[in-house]
Amino acid sequence: MAQRVALARCESYRLPVLEDCLRRLLGLLGGISQFVKNGDRVLIKINLLSGKPPEKAVTTHPSLVEAVVNLVKEAGGIPTIGDSPGERATITGLDRAYRTAGFEEVSRKTGVPLVSFEDDVMEVNTSRGRLYKKFTVTKRIKDFDVIISIPKLKTHPLTYITAGVKNNFGFIPGLRKTEFHLKLPDGELFSEMLIDLLSTIKIDLVILDAIVAMEGNGPVGGVPRNVGAILASKNVIALDFVACQLIGYKNPLAIPTNRIAIERKIFLPGNIEISGEKIEDLQVEDFKRIPQDVSQKIPQFLIKGLKGLLSPKPKIIDQLCNRCFHCLESCPVKCVDKTKNGKLSIRYSDCIRCFCCLELCPQGAIVIKTSWWMKLFTA
């Protein structure tokens, strides 16, 4: 059976506009009652990352989450909002992230609790995992009948986009995420792991915030870009297939998680039915995407010598750095050093290109540096 992805034009974060748009969007999937029944406990899994003001386009917009909360309540559901930011996950840090990103206000207005994923954990197993057969995730998911994932559409240096599939990584509490970056420095392996994780937690509905997406140096230091769309689906991979086309990927298989899902027969190519708007009417072809790691295309016998030259690297922009040292603390191989003059530098000989530093830098002071060798290969 074809997987339906509903696509709606939406160019405003005003609550009445969002509610109207969501009703139309979910109507294309059978309405909210298809997903939420009276009395259901519903977890709304947002993308909080490091907690930035909504206009920075780092986090799911709080007004969209508020609109979903209202619809869930109308259907008789009991909503709760949750996520685990990537940085050191203290309760103060989490409270600050929720406050800065506008969710404390949503909670105050709607009475919906904001939960932490850090306290209790549990193991979930998957017989379908290729790299991982089990994961340690938040125990919170056991408390809910329904999970609605609401990611933000952004660029990402390892996975090219962060949308439906990548949002599940937030079920792994706090700094436990860093262990995966250490073991899986390569975007391909990391994507394999994300597909393993996908089969452990059932997402009932995914709604993608692509009204204002993030282009360029995502997922934290990029630039907000109007795309003017909301997408929804029961199928996380189908949604990612449509999302990447929306920002100009002609071939959805350029996104490793999409390709791996097909290779593993978790998803069938051509198995998508788009309802609502046409992609061509909303496509942003000049969206600034992540340059592809051309080292993936080089024959194995050449790769060892050339990979260092061809792979993109993180680069610290000293003028933007406020010396918070999050990058130094979170680097899984400890290759960020303080120099004698107080600046920070990266030891590229040890850097595994996991881009945790870029993801967690609160200032957007770490960017992706592309070598001229790489530009030569991609020219």
CB of 86 to ligand SF4, least distance (A): 11
Smaller CB separation from ligand SF4, 207 or 346: 346
How far apart, in Å, are the Cα atoms of 107 and each of 33, 66, 101, 314, 343?
A: 23, 9, 12, 36, 40
Smaller CB separation from ligand SF4, 182 or 266: 182
CB of 347 to ligand SF4, least distance (A): 8
Smaller CB separation from ligand SF4, 223 or 352: 352
Closest CA to 26 of 215, 272, 276: 276
Greatest distance between any 2 Cα atoms in the chain: 62
Smaller CB separation from ligand SF4, 35 or 169: 169
CB 114 within 8 A of CB 17: no
Q: In terms of C-beta density within 10 A (0-12 exposed, 13-18 middle, 19 or more buried), how is residue 10 classed? A: buried
CB of 165 to ligand SF4, least distance (A): 21
CB of 166 to ligand SF4, least distance (A): 17
In angstroms, how far is CA 6 from the centroid of its own chain? 19
Smaller CB separation from ligand SF4, 279 or 324: 324
Smaller CB separation from ligand SF4, 151 or 332: 332
By the criterion CB under 6 A, which residues form the site for ligand SF4? 314, 316, 321-327, 331, 333, 335-336, 344, 346, 351-357, 361, 363, 365-366
Q: What is the DSSP letter of 148?
A: E
Smaller CB separation from ligand SF4, 244 or 351: 351
CB of 82 to ligand SF4, least distance (A): 25
Which residue do the tokens 């050339």 mark? Answer: 306
- For 170-218, the DSSP string reads GGS-TTHHHHHHHH--SHHHHHHHHHHHHTTS--SEEEEEEEEEEESST
Closest CA to 217 of 152, 286, 308, 314: 314
CB of 199 to ligand SF4, least distance (A): 27
How far apart, in Å, are the Cα atoms of 335 and each of 66, 200, 338, 352, 353?
A: 41, 33, 10, 9, 11
Smaller CB separation from ligand SF4, 123 or 350: 350
Residue 334 tokens, joined: 């400890």
CB of 308 to ligand SF4, least distance (A): 12
Q: In terms of C-beta density within 10 A (0-12 exposed, 13-18 middle, 19 or more buried), how is residue 145 classed? A: middle
CB of 21 to ligand SF4, least distance (A): 36
How far apart, in Å, are the Cα atoms of 2 and each of 5, 210, 234, 235, 270?
A: 10, 23, 11, 10, 8
